[in-house]
Amino acid sequence: MHLTAPATGRPGTRTRDADGMAVASFVLGLIGLLVFNIFLGPLAVVLAAVSLWRGTNRRGRAYLGLGLGVADLLVLLTFMQLDNTLSWSF
């Protein structure tokens, strides 16, 4: 059984929104490697998951955003362990 998007008055709106979320996830994950990774990492993961759930056409970008979001959190965890603080800076 295939579920379809709810009627919004504009065909393709759900897919277009999912594609935008996939791109936003990628960009936020990339930026999060340098700054605000405590916020941007989880946000990138959530946006990637929602865009994949909604059936984005940009699956590769969503998976990259998911990977970068996880990498943001790993970078934060690593530097927190090295500095013994809740954040890190250059």
Give the distance between the most distant pair of CA atoms in the chain.
Answer: 53
What is the distance between the alpha carbons of residues 70 and 68, in angstroms, rounded to a whole number? Answer: 5
What is the distance between the alpha carbons of residues 5 and 27, in angstroms, rounded to a whole number? Answer: 26
Tell me, what's the pLDDT at 86?
Answer: 66
Provide the Cα torsion 33, 38, 42, 43; round to 10°. -80
What is the distance between the alpha carbons of residues 49 and 47, in angstroms, rounded to a whole number? Answer: 5
Tens digits of per-residue pLDDT, 35-89? Answer: 888 899 999 999 999 999 988 888 999 999 999 999 999 998 888 888 777 666 6
Q: What is the pTM of this model?
A: 0.77
The residue among 74, 32, 25 whose CA lies nearest residue 49 is 25
